[in-house]
Amino acid sequence: MDLQLSGRVAVVTGASKGVGLAVVRTLLAEGARVVAASRKTSPGLDDLAGSDLVHVPADLMDPDAPAQVVARAEAEFGGLDILVNNAGGPPPGVSLPRFSFMAPTDDDWRRMFEFNLFSAVRAVRAAIPLMLARGGGSIVNVSSGVARQPAPMNVDYNAAKAGLNTLTQTLSEEYAPQGIRVNTVSLGPVRTAWWTEEGGAADIIAAQAGTDRDSVMDTVAPQMMNLTTGRLVDPQEVADVIALLASPRSASTTGADFAVDAGFSKAV
Protein backbone atom coordinates (compact mmCIF):
# COMPACT_ATOMS: atom_id res chain seq x y z
CA MET A 1 0.00 0.00 0.00
CA ASP A 2 1.26 3.47 -0.90
CA LEU A 3 0.82 5.59 2.24
CA GLN A 4 1.09 8.79 0.17
CA LEU A 5 3.82 10.17 2.43
CA SER A 6 6.35 11.00 -0.28
CA GLY A 7 7.68 14.53 0.21
CA ARG A 8 5.81 15.13 3.44
CA VAL A 9 7.70 16.56 6.39
CA ALA A 10 7.67 14.89 9.78
CA VAL A 11 9.05 15.59 13.24
CA VAL A 12 9.67 12.55 15.43
CA THR A 13 10.74 12.94 19.06
CA GLY A 14 12.60 10.29 21.03
CA ALA A 15 14.00 9.26 17.66
CA SER A 16 17.35 7.64 18.44
CA LYS A 17 16.19 4.18 19.46
CA GLY A 18 13.23 1.91 20.07
CA VAL A 19 9.87 3.02 18.74
CA GLY A 20 11.14 6.42 17.64
CA LEU A 21 13.92 4.94 15.53
CA ALA A 22 11.49 2.48 13.96
CA VAL A 23 9.13 5.37 13.12
CA VAL A 24 11.94 7.39 11.52
CA ARG A 25 13.04 4.39 9.46
CA THR A 26 9.48 3.68 8.33
CA LEU A 27 8.66 7.27 7.37
CA LEU A 28 11.91 7.58 5.39
CA ALA A 29 11.12 4.34 3.57
CA GLU A 30 7.75 5.84 2.61
CA GLY A 31 9.46 8.90 1.11
CA ALA A 32 8.94 11.39 3.93
CA ARG A 33 11.52 13.92 5.05
CA VAL A 34 12.17 13.63 8.78
CA VAL A 35 13.48 15.82 11.57
CA ALA A 36 14.56 13.37 14.27
CA ALA A 37 14.89 14.77 17.80
CA SER A 38 16.76 13.09 20.63
CA ARG A 39 19.31 14.04 23.24
CA LYS A 40 22.01 12.36 21.20
CA THR A 41 22.24 10.33 18.04
CA SER A 42 22.72 6.56 17.87
CA PRO A 43 24.31 4.04 15.51
CA GLY A 44 20.84 3.13 14.25
CA LEU A 45 20.00 6.73 13.48
CA ASP A 46 23.40 7.35 11.92
CA ASP A 47 22.78 4.43 9.56
CA LEU A 48 19.78 6.32 8.14
CA ALA A 49 21.74 9.50 7.38
CA GLY A 50 20.85 11.22 4.11
CA SER A 51 19.37 14.33 2.59
CA ASP A 52 15.88 13.51 3.87
CA LEU A 53 16.93 13.17 7.52
CA VAL A 54 18.01 15.88 9.94
CA HIS A 55 18.94 15.03 13.52
CA VAL A 56 18.34 17.75 16.11
CA PRO A 57 20.03 17.22 19.49
CA ALA A 58 17.37 18.22 22.01
CA ASP A 59 16.58 17.69 25.67
CA LEU A 60 12.79 17.90 25.77
CA MET A 61 12.91 18.64 29.49
CA ASP A 62 14.00 22.11 28.33
CA PRO A 63 10.79 24.12 27.78
CA ASP A 64 12.27 25.79 24.68
CA ALA A 65 13.41 22.57 22.99
CA PRO A 66 10.15 21.35 21.37
CA ALA A 67 9.60 24.63 19.54
CA GLN A 68 13.23 24.67 18.43
CA VAL A 69 12.85 21.17 16.96
CA VAL A 70 9.69 22.13 15.09
CA ALA A 71 11.38 25.29 13.79
CA ARG A 72 14.11 23.14 12.23
CA ALA A 73 11.47 21.37 10.14
CA GLU A 74 10.45 24.68 8.63
CA ALA A 75 14.05 25.82 8.19
CA GLU A 76 15.25 22.58 6.59
CA PHE A 77 12.21 21.40 4.66
CA GLY A 78 9.87 24.39 4.39
CA GLY A 79 7.07 23.36 6.73
CA LEU A 80 5.51 20.51 8.67
CA ASP A 81 2.90 17.86 7.92
CA ILE A 82 3.39 15.23 10.62
CA LEU A 83 4.28 15.37 14.32
CA VAL A 84 4.96 12.18 16.25
CA ASN A 85 5.24 12.87 19.97
CA ASN A 86 7.03 9.67 20.83
CA ALA A 87 9.43 10.83 23.57
CA GLY A 88 8.28 9.56 26.93
CA GLY A 89 8.76 6.99 29.63
CA PRO A 90 11.25 7.51 32.44
CA PRO A 91 12.72 11.03 32.39
CA PRO A 92 16.50 11.20 32.02
CA GLY A 93 18.20 9.59 35.00
CA VAL A 94 15.05 7.85 36.26
CA SER A 95 14.47 4.10 36.41
CA LEU A 96 11.01 2.53 36.39
CA PRO A 97 8.98 0.77 37.63
CA ARG A 98 8.18 2.31 41.00
CA PHE A 99 5.93 0.08 43.06
CA SER A 100 4.00 2.49 45.31
CA PHE A 101 2.11 5.77 45.21
CA MET A 102 4.37 6.92 48.05
CA ALA A 103 7.56 6.39 46.02
CA PRO A 104 7.62 9.46 43.72
CA THR A 105 8.28 12.86 45.26
CA ASP A 106 6.85 16.18 44.11
CA ASP A 107 9.94 16.65 41.97
CA ASP A 108 9.46 13.19 40.46
CA TRP A 109 5.90 14.12 39.55
CA ARG A 110 7.02 17.39 37.96
CA ARG A 111 9.74 15.70 35.91
CA MET A 112 7.39 12.95 34.76
CA PHE A 113 4.81 15.45 33.56
CA GLU A 114 7.47 17.63 31.90
CA PHE A 115 8.72 14.70 29.85
CA ASN A 116 5.52 12.81 29.10
CA LEU A 117 2.95 15.59 28.78
CA PHE A 118 4.33 19.12 28.70
CA SER A 119 6.92 18.37 26.01
CA ALA A 120 4.10 17.17 23.77
CA VAL A 121 1.98 20.22 24.60
CA ARG A 122 4.85 22.51 23.60
CA ALA A 123 5.59 20.59 20.39
CA VAL A 124 1.93 20.72 19.35
CA ARG A 125 1.74 24.43 20.12
CA ALA A 126 4.66 25.04 17.77
CA ALA A 127 3.46 22.61 15.10
CA ILE A 128 -0.12 23.72 14.63
CA PRO A 129 0.59 27.06 12.89
CA LEU A 130 2.90 25.31 10.40
CA MET A 131 0.30 22.63 9.70
CA LEU A 132 -2.48 25.17 9.25
CA ALA A 133 -0.31 27.03 6.76
CA ARG A 134 -0.12 23.83 4.66
CA GLY A 135 -3.83 23.08 4.92
CA GLY A 136 -3.65 20.44 7.63
CA GLY A 137 -1.57 17.63 9.03
CA SER A 138 -1.41 14.68 11.37
CA ILE A 139 -0.34 14.53 15.01
CA VAL A 140 0.25 11.15 16.65
CA ASN A 141 0.77 11.08 20.41
CA VAL A 142 2.37 7.94 21.81
CA SER A 143 0.63 7.01 25.05
CA SER A 144 0.25 3.85 27.12
CA GLY A 145 -2.39 1.32 28.02
CA VAL A 146 -1.91 2.25 31.67
CA ALA A 147 -3.58 5.60 30.95
CA ARG A 148 -6.85 3.66 30.75
CA GLN A 149 -5.99 0.56 32.77
CA PRO A 150 -3.71 1.80 35.56
CA ALA A 151 -1.88 -0.54 37.87
CA PRO A 152 -0.53 0.16 41.39
CA MET A 153 2.88 1.17 40.06
CA ASN A 154 4.28 4.16 38.15
CA VAL A 155 1.35 6.29 39.27
CA ASP A 156 2.95 9.53 38.05
CA TYR A 157 3.60 8.04 34.61
CA ASN A 158 0.05 6.67 34.39
CA ALA A 159 -1.41 10.07 35.22
CA ALA A 160 0.78 11.89 32.70
CA LYS A 161 -0.27 9.54 29.92
CA ALA A 162 -3.94 9.92 30.88
CA GLY A 163 -3.42 13.64 30.44
CA LEU A 164 -1.91 13.02 27.00
CA ASN A 165 -4.99 11.04 25.99
CA THR A 166 -7.24 13.89 27.08
CA LEU A 167 -5.07 16.37 25.20
CA THR A 168 -5.44 14.27 22.06
CA GLN A 169 -9.23 14.29 22.24
CA THR A 170 -9.36 18.01 22.93
CA LEU A 171 -7.03 18.89 20.06
CA SER A 172 -8.98 16.70 17.68
CA GLU A 173 -12.24 18.45 18.54
CA GLU A 174 -10.75 21.87 17.92
CA TYR A 175 -8.54 21.27 14.89
CA ALA A 176 -10.06 18.42 12.87
CA PRO A 177 -12.40 20.90 11.12
CA GLN A 178 -9.24 22.76 10.04
CA GLY A 179 -7.59 19.66 8.61
CA ILE A 180 -5.37 18.58 11.50
CA ARG A 181 -6.02 15.05 12.68
CA VAL A 182 -4.85 14.05 16.18
CA ASN A 183 -4.71 10.45 17.35
CA THR A 184 -3.16 8.38 20.11
CA VAL A 185 -1.29 5.09 19.93
CA SER A 186 -1.38 3.41 23.33
CA LEU A 187 1.37 0.91 23.94
CA GLY A 188 1.82 -2.08 26.13
CA PRO A 189 5.34 -3.19 27.09
CA VAL A 190 7.61 -2.74 24.06
CA ARG A 191 11.00 -4.43 23.86
CA THR A 192 13.00 -1.20 23.97
CA ALA A 193 15.80 0.24 26.07
CA TRP A 194 13.31 0.95 28.86
CA TRP A 195 13.27 -2.83 29.39
CA THR A 196 16.56 -4.00 27.98
CA GLU A 197 19.18 -1.52 29.26
CA GLU A 198 21.19 -2.35 32.35
CA GLY A 199 19.25 -1.13 35.38
CA GLY A 200 16.05 -0.92 33.33
CA ALA A 201 12.62 -2.39 33.99
CA ALA A 202 13.70 -5.98 33.36
CA ASP A 203 16.47 -5.75 35.95
CA ILE A 204 14.23 -4.03 38.51
CA ILE A 205 11.46 -6.61 38.14
CA ALA A 206 14.00 -9.46 38.14
CA ALA A 207 15.31 -8.27 41.50
CA GLN A 208 11.78 -8.19 42.90
CA ALA A 209 10.81 -11.56 41.44
CA GLY A 210 14.08 -13.37 42.20
CA THR A 211 14.78 -14.26 38.59
CA ASP A 212 16.91 -13.03 35.68
CA ARG A 213 16.28 -10.23 33.19
CA ASP A 214 15.76 -12.52 30.15
CA SER A 215 13.12 -14.51 32.02
CA VAL A 216 11.37 -11.26 32.90
CA MET A 217 11.13 -10.16 29.28
CA ASP A 218 10.32 -13.58 27.89
CA THR A 219 7.96 -14.93 30.57
CA VAL A 220 7.48 -12.98 33.79
CA ALA A 221 6.41 -9.64 32.32
CA PRO A 222 4.00 -11.11 29.74
CA GLN A 223 2.38 -13.20 32.49
CA MET A 224 2.38 -10.37 35.02
CA MET A 225 0.69 -8.01 32.54
CA ASN A 226 -1.59 -10.74 31.16
CA LEU A 227 -0.49 -10.15 27.58
CA THR A 228 -2.72 -12.13 25.28
CA THR A 229 0.03 -12.62 22.69
CA GLY A 230 2.40 -13.89 25.37
CA ARG A 231 5.27 -11.58 24.37
CA LEU A 232 6.44 -7.98 24.44
CA VAL A 233 5.61 -5.73 21.51
CA ASP A 234 8.19 -5.19 18.75
CA PRO A 235 8.94 -1.50 17.99
CA GLN A 236 8.28 -1.98 14.28
CA GLU A 237 4.73 -3.11 15.04
CA VAL A 238 4.14 0.28 16.66
CA ALA A 239 5.84 2.20 13.86
CA ASP A 240 3.60 0.61 11.24
CA VAL A 241 0.46 1.86 13.01
CA ILE A 242 1.93 5.33 13.50
CA ALA A 243 2.84 5.56 9.81
CA LEU A 244 -0.70 4.63 8.80
CA LEU A 245 -2.17 7.26 11.14
CA ALA A 246 0.23 9.85 9.74
CA SER A 247 -0.88 8.99 6.23
CA PRO A 248 -3.68 10.60 4.20
CA ARG A 249 -4.98 7.04 3.95
CA SER A 250 -6.34 7.69 7.47
CA ALA A 251 -8.07 10.92 6.47
CA SER A 252 -11.24 10.15 8.45
CA THR A 253 -9.47 8.90 11.57
CA THR A 254 -9.14 11.50 14.32
CA GLY A 255 -9.61 11.56 18.08
CA ALA A 256 -8.99 7.79 18.13
CA ASP A 257 -6.86 5.70 20.45
CA PHE A 258 -5.16 2.68 18.86
CA ALA A 259 -3.92 -0.04 21.21
CA VAL A 260 -0.67 -1.73 20.18
CA ASP A 261 -0.25 -3.55 23.45
CA ALA A 262 -0.07 -7.32 22.95
CA GLY A 263 -3.57 -7.64 24.39
CA PHE A 264 -2.85 -5.78 27.63
CA SER A 265 -6.06 -3.72 27.49
CA LYS A 266 -9.12 -5.84 28.22
CA ALA A 267 -11.88 -3.19 28.32
CA VAL A 268 -14.58 -3.05 25.66
190: left (phi over 0), alpha (psi -120 to 50) or beta: beta
Side-by-side strand order, sheet with 82-85: 53-57, 33-38, 9-13, 82-85, 137-144, 180-187, 257-260
| Most distant pair of Cα atoms in the chain: their distance | 56
* List 77, 113, 115, 157, catalytic entry: 157
Q: Which residues face 83 on adjacent strands? A: 11, 139
Q: Which residues face 142 on adjacent strands? A: 185
> Using only C-alpha atoms, what is the Rg of the chain?
18
Residue 175 among the catalytic residues: no
Catalytic residues: 157
